[in-house]
Structure 1
């Protein structure tokens, strides 16, 4: 299980990701939100993005499946973080203006992504936005690297995932990895809007 990996390597993971400059990605997400909007950071990892959203005066709920990452995220943000998976997390329906799922849904097996999106967007207001990112690939859909399983994504696969959901693609773009020595890795980024 990926959460076992993150429990064992939580400190190392935080050190490698917490200080990455995410400003370009935030600019695709936050302009869709009003002042004080309510955000769900789904799979928050180190708490890096939760902290940023709090500093921008958004109201933020966050969760992660790794107990060790939850503890570190609470330390980094001085904010309560829930210990949940995508499917165990619960909230009020239509509670959030935005859902941020940065490099987290990529750990969900491809055949479970539809159900996971369906579960998450129950909590998203109509007209609300969701950002998510996956490793970009056109060949292998699922891979395993260093004891972690990944679901890779491309435009065709993503349309299959969302085709029966009340979601429309607002923006879709490919970026290079922002981590040092990872410039050869590409990322699939998408902002979706929930429609009636």
Structure 2
């Protein structure tokens, strides 16, 4: 069923309100999450000369912005949540843009890499092709997109107060390929566990 403009507005508003309300708990609960595998997967595929200019798409409270800047790169955050944007600016000292994922306004060919860690699954499937094209356009030629999302069987809908879309690998590949990306690698997380205990699908893509 096609989502209306009102449906999309409600999805964005309620999901962002959830994150605004639980921002402090979210920061405390994710502060020590180890996503070094994901950060390394993005950085090793970028072919530009460092320091890289990176967009942390769905930066949350700013944990990974601090990692990127600590490695010597120029990182800009983007999040739809007002509270997360405020936290990320204060904690990282980085520039952070507050933008609804469904109403992006991104500069053309600005970034060497986009790090979308646990973010793009909030985009409804009908809007995902447009959002991916916008991320494609904000990357420099040959730039790299990293994404990690909770995987599923191509279902979407409400999970408590958050809206999510849960893709399998073939579906995700179709979306990214159609948006002009070439797959570089994919893997499941957490590492070292049986597949049924790896709920996260991570993938890395180059802009064609």
Taking structure 2 as the reference length, what is the TM-score of the superposition?
Answer: 0.85
Q: What secondary structure is seen at the aligned counterpart in 2 of 1:121?
A: helix
- 2:75 aligned with 1:60: yes
- 2:53 aligned with 1:38: yes
Does the 8 Å CA contact 2:150/2:201 hold for their aligned counterparts?
yes
Q: Which residue pairs with 1:83 in the alignment?
A: 98
Count of matched residue pairs: 189
Does the 8 Å CA contact 1:87/1:119 hold for their aligned counterparts?
no
Q: CA RMSD in A?
A: 1.8
Ranges in structure 1 where 5+ consecutive residues have no aligned partner: 178-182
Larger helix share, 1 or 2: 2
Q: Which residue pairs with 2:113 in the alignment?
A: 98
* Alpha-carbon distance in structure 1 between the residues aligned to 2:178 and 2:151: 22
Q: 1:106 to 1:83 in 2, by over 3 A?
A: same
* Alpha-carbon distance in structure 2 between the residues aligned to 1:76 and 1:184: 32
* Alpha-carbon distance in structure 2 between the residues aligned to 1:141 and 1:176: 22
Does the 8 Å CA contact 1:4/1:66 hold for their aligned counterparts?
yes
- 2:15 aligned with 1:2: yes
Q: Deviations over 1:4-57 (max 9, x none)?
A: 100100001111112212112212111223321110111100111111101111
Taking structure 1 as the reference length, what is the TM-score of the superposition?
Answer: 0.89
Q: Which residue pairs with 1:180 in the alignment?
A: none
How far is 1:108 from its partner? Answer: 0.5
* Alpha-carbon distance in structure 2 between the residues aligned to 1:2 and 1:42: 16
Ranges in structure 2 where 5+ consecutive residues have no aligned partner: 1-13
More off after superposition, 123-132 vs 31-40: 31-40
How far is 1:143 from its partner? Answer: 3.9
Q: Which residue pairs with 1:27 in the alignment?
A: 40
Does the 8 Å CA contact 2:136/2:179 hold for their aligned counterparts?
no
Q: What secondary structure is seen at the aligned counterpart in 2 of 1:120?
A: helix
Does the 8 Å CA contact 1:86/1:120 hold for their aligned counterparts?
no
Q: What secondary structure is seen at the aligned counterpart in 1 of 2:147?
A: strand
Does the 8 Å CA contact 1:97/1:129 hold for their aligned counterparts?
yes
Q: Given the alignment, which residue of 179, 194, 206 partners 1:165?
A: 179
- 2:139 aligned with 1:133: no
* Alpha-carbon distance in structure 2 between the residues aligned to 1:64 and 1:164: 25
More off after superposition, 144-153 vs 94-103: 144-153
- 2:157 aligned with 1:146: no
Q: What secondary structure is seen at the aligned counterpart in 1 of 2:173?
A: helix
Q: Which residue pairs with 2:206 in the alignment?
A: 193
